[in-house]
Structures are given as C-alpha cells and as structure tokens.
C-alpha cells in the first residue's frame, strides 16, 4: 500500500505530462541547458533525489533559490516534476516549454494558512490549445479570487461560489484536482524516483529564465 505524505507549508511545482521518453529527454535536455546559464546544476542518482526530497518535506519547506527535477513513480503518465522556491514559479518559462515541446503543463503552488508565507493557492492547466488559471491570494489579509479560461471536468464549480474566498481554492482542493487528472501528490511514491534527477541552486539572487527561453 502506498503511504500518504504530509505536504510542506509552501509548494511551487510544475508537472510536465509528456507523451514519450523521447519527448521527455528533449525537454529535460533543453531545460537543463537554460538552467546552467544561471544556476549550479548537480545530477543526483535515484536514492539521492529521493533523500533530498524527503529531507525538504521533513523541514516543511524548500531552501531559497533552489529547486529539484525528478521523474516520479506514476502508473498512468510519463511525467517530469520541477519544484522550486521562487515566488513566481517561472510560470511564463514553463508555459513556453509547454508550447514549444507540445506537452500539458500542470502548475500548482500554494502557501498554507499556517505557514510562514502570505497564504495563496494557484492552479494552471496549460497546453497548446488553451490555458486555465485559478487562484485565491491574500494580500495582508485581503483576499482576491480570479479565474480565466474554460471550466475543466476535473474541477468542482461549487467551490468558487463559497462566501469565504480562502475556501474557494486551497491546498486540499489543488490536491483533489490533481488526483482527478490522475496525479496523486499525496502518495509517497510521487516524491520518490527510480531514475536520476537534478538539484539546482541559483548563482545569484537574479534569474533570467523567461528572457533566455529558446535563445
């Protein structure tokens, strides 16, 4: 039986749903090429990547200006996960990768109410045909809710009419949406890999991924 995990207080994660190993390898090759312009990138074997992820989960956060790339143990998808500690999650860069390499991007980020960060929840479903964006965010206690794009069959529209904005989208709902798609981030196997992965750390506090894309 696959054990359940406790999610950290803040997560910023992009999931690439790819069609084949060839597509996956091409995406990784380009992604790493861009990362190496502004980051120190280290290759980790399967045990090291799993240990690194477990250590960060135990700490309840991922270290600033760092990230991890790995292939989780999933039955239904070929998938690559990139998790980082940058506030914007490089969404524009990730969408550019999705458009160029023709894969579906799932971007999920949140900071829980009891974390050390201003609470928010964001979900992006993006492919070459459309983009679906949903978020609920607090700015010094004032909540805002936003959605754009066509409602998808993995969503529950009733959530978005809740009186309290912070209850319209939260980490539990994000987990449920991913599970409806077929990606269960609550399973321990998602946070482990049978293959090598990568750890990256910024060389400076400035990153330039979006302007570097496809140069």
Is the pLDDT at 67 greater than 80? The verdict is yes
Q: Is 60 exceeded by the pLDDT of residue 46? A: yes
Beta bridge partners of 132: 125
pLDDT of residue 205: 58
Q: What would the pLDDT profile of 146-180 be if each residue is shown by its tens digit?
A: 999 999 999 999 999 999 999 999 999 999 999 99
**Proportion of the chain above pLDDT 70, given as a percent:** 88
Q: Is residue 3 part of a domain?
A: no
Closest alpha carbon to 204 in 65, 92, 79: 65
Q: Length of the chain in residues, anyone? A: 215
Alpha-carbon span 102 to 20, nearest angstrom: 11
Q: Establish if 2 belongs to a structural domain.
A: no
Kindly state the tokens that stand for 195: 């293959």
Q: Is 179 within the bounds of a domain?
A: yes
Look at residue 97 and tell me if it is in a domain: yes
- Rounded-to-integer distance, Cα 29 and Cα 182, Å: 26
> Do 118 and 54 contact (CB within 8 A), yes or no?
no
- Higher-pLDDT residue of 203 and 164 is 164
* Three-state SS sequence of the chain: CCCECCCCCEEEEEEEEECCHHHHHHHHHHHHHHHCCCEEEEEECHHHHHHHHHHHHHHCCCCCCEEEEECCCCCCCEEEEEEECCCCCCHHHHHHHHHHHCCEEEEEEEECCCCCCCCEEEEEEECCCCEEEEEEEEECCEEEEEEECCCCCCCCHHHHHCCCHHHCCCHHHHHHHHHHHCCCCCEHHHHCCCCCEEEEEECCCCCCHHHHCCC
- φ/ψ bin of 50: left (φ > 0), alpha (ψ from -120 to 50), beta (otherwise): alpha
With respect to residue 107, please indicate whether it lies within any of the assigned structural domains: yes
Name the average pLDDT for the chain.
86
Q: pLDDT confidence of 87, banded at 50, 70, 90?
A: low
Tokens representing 149 are: 């794009």
Residue 78 is part of which domain span?
10-203
How many domains is the chain built from? 1
Residue 19: inside a domain, yes or no? yes
Give the residue with greater pLDDT, 115 vs 72. Answer: 72
211 occurs within a structural domain: no
pLDDT in tens, 107-126: 999 988 777 778 999 999 99
Q: Is the Cα dihedral 120, 49, 178, 22 positive or negative?
A: positive
Q: Is residue 213 in a domain?
A: no
> pLDDT at position 153, please?
96
Averaged pLDDT, 22-43? 90
pTM of the predicted protein model? 0.89
């Amino acid at each position: 039986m696959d054990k359940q995990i406790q999610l950290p207080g803040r997560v910023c994660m992009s999931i690439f749903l790819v069609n084949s190993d060839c597509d996956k390898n091409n995406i990784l090759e380009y992604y790493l090429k861009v990362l190496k312009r502004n980051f120190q990138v280290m290759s980790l074997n399967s045990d090291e990547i799993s240990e690194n992820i477990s250590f960060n989960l135990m700490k309840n956060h991922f270290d600033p200006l760092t990230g991890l790339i790995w292939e989780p143990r999933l039955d239904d998808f070929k998938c690559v996960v990139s998790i980082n500690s940058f506030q914007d999650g490089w969404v524009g860069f990730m969408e550019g990768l999705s458009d160029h390499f023709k894969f579906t991007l799932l971007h999920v980020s949140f900071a829980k109410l009891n974390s050390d960060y201003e609470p928010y929840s964001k979900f992006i479903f993006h492919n070459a045909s459309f983009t679906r964006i949903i978020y609920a965010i607090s700015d010094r206690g004032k909540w805002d809710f936003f959605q754009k794009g066509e409602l998808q069959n993995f969503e529950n529209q009733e959530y978005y009419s809740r009186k309290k904005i912070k209850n319209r989208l939260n980490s539990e709902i994000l987990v449920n949406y991913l599970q409806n798609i077929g990606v269960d981030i609550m399973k321990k196997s998602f946070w482990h890999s049978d293959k090598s992965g990568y750890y990256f750390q910024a060389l400076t506090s400035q990153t330039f991924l979006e302007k570097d894309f496809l140069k």
